[in-house]
Amino acid sequence: MFFKIYPNLYLGDHNSPSELKPQAVLSVMNDVAPFPIIAPYYLRVPVPDGPGIDFKMIDISFRFLDFCSDNSLMTLIQCWSGRSRSISIASGWIYKRSGKPFTDILKEILQERISFEKHPEWILPVDQYPFPHPVVLEMVRSYLECGND
């Protein structure tokens, strides 16, 4: 499962690299992908889905995405299920690049994500969507508020 959220930028789950064949992959998982990822540019950043995220990991993720965007690489941001860590990192990076309101970006991504949901019991109105994990999202927001860019 993967979907486009910004020019040359896609979000997805652990299966997405084999489906999309991206030029670059940012994997924001603690676990290693269940199969080898073949992409010219690959970065795995260990980001927990809850407490414990480090500003350094957000910074590394954003720098990688800057490089990919500056070089027009088709890039996939993936986490295990494509619902939390990847959405949080993507929302923050798009905010930093576009200047669009963070909540608007997040709502647009969640709306797109909901349309790809494989589990009907998880489909809710955007304002009731239980993902991304609030701790991860707040760490990304805090990172941005500290003027890190």
Token duo for residue 132: 């991304």
110, 87 Cβ separation under 8 angstroms: yes
Number of residues in the chain: 149
pLDDT tens digits, 36-78 = 677 888 888 887 767 777 888 889 999 999 999 999 999 988 8
DSSP codes joined into one string, 40-96: SEEEE----SSTT--HHHHHHHHHHHHHHHHTT--EEEE-SSSSSHHHHHHHHHHHH
Q: What is the distance between the terminal CA atoms of the chain, rounded to a whole angstrom?
A: 30
pLDDT tens digits, 119-138 = 555 555 545 555 566 667 77
pTM summary value: 0.81
